Amino acid sequence: MFDFHEDDDLFGGTAEKKYFDIIFNANRSVVENELSNNLRRMNALERLLEERLEESEDLEKLIITHIATNIDTVEAELKNAYIAGMGDILTQAE
């Protein structure tokens, strides 16, 4: 079985590092489109959450608390998001 190492230049590296390698080297318009879509989606999700919060609840504090109490899940989902983002960019660049 192939032994995968993060420090291997050819096959290794974290999902985050590979994502940024792609971002910095892919077609600029494809990357701009992907980043704009991500920001649009994040903004929409924030608005949806704010609409469902009580007036006294602070969205930023809620997000920070959620990250702190669910760090393993958040990190795993972030890794998946990097991988999905790479796929989206590479698919558009073909």
Q: Are 87 and 23 in contact (CB under 8 A)?
A: no
More confident residue, 11 or 81: 81
Whole-angstrom distance, CA of residue 2 vs CA of residue 22:
23
Residue 12 has pLDDT above 50, yes or no: yes
Q: Quick check: 49 and 59 in contact, CB under 8 A?
A: yes
* Residue 8 scores a pLDDT above 80: no
Average confidence (pLDDT) over 16-25: 95
Q: Is the pLDDT of residue 71 over 90?
A: yes
Chain-wide mean pLDDT for the chain? Answer: 88
**Smallest Cα–Cα separation from 69: which of 61, 59, 79, 81?**
61
Q: Are 28 and 36 in contact (CB under 8 A)?
A: no
pTM value is 0.78
What average pLDDT does this structure show over 15-23? 95
